[in-house]
Amino acid sequence: MISRKVLVGIVLLIAGIALVIPGVVVITSEPSGNTVIHYSSDIYTSPEFNFTENKVLIMVSSDTSSEGLVNCTDFREDASTFNSSNIHNYTVTPAKHIDGEPLYENLNGSYKYVIVSSSKPVLDYNFISHSEISNVTDASYIAAMGALLTGAGIIITMVTILFGKINSRKPR
């Protein structure tokens, strides 16, 4: 006969998996990109982002010291003078940061993400609408809750089974 604790662990495990799967599907289905364009010796850029009303850009980069979002007009005029010391004079301040990564919103016009680096950087980005970002945020909370429930289910089930075996071997 299955003990109640094992049954609770199995139910938590199944409930957790039922939350993790749809959360991960939503997160991974959002449009993202990772194209890096080598502009000159130490300047790398993203493709051009055409901001319109309701668009949000989230950037993830391997190098966070000499980089930022630059208006395409400034880029065309001044790219030859960009270096690690002055790139911040041309960059747009992010609206906020999500998990340490810059989020840009409420912009109009065309922009490029510019990185000054001696080697090709890793660059990932999501250029999405506000509604898509709230979907991703909600899905990440659901997936995290599912992961916690799955972990709790595994722990409860395994501990109950192990202690049951240990207790059954003890002489009475």
**CA quadruple 37, 106, 26, 148: dihedral sign:** positive
Section 104-116 average pLDDT? 92
Q: Which of 33-37, 77-81, 148-152 has the highest mean pLDDT?
A: 148-152
Q: How many CB atoms lie within 10 A of CB 59?
A: 22
Mean pLDDT confidence for 104-108: 91
Segment 101-109 shows an average pLDDT of 90
CB atoms within 10 A of CB 169: 7
Q: Classify the phi-psi angles of 68: left when phi > 0, otherwise alpha if psi is within -120 to 50, otherwise beta.
A: left
> What percent of the chain is helix, strand and coil (3-state, nearest 5)?
45, 30, 25
pTM of this structure: 0.67
Token pair of 18 as six digits: 């039922």
Range from 5-9, 129-133, 144-148 that averages highest in pLDDT: 144-148
CA proximity to 117, closest of 61, 62, 42: 42
* Cα distances (Å, whole numbers) of residue 39 to 71, 73, 91, 116: 15, 15, 17, 10
Mean predicted confidence (pLDDT) in 53-77: 85
Q: Which of 117, 136, 128 is nearest to 62 (CA)?
A: 117
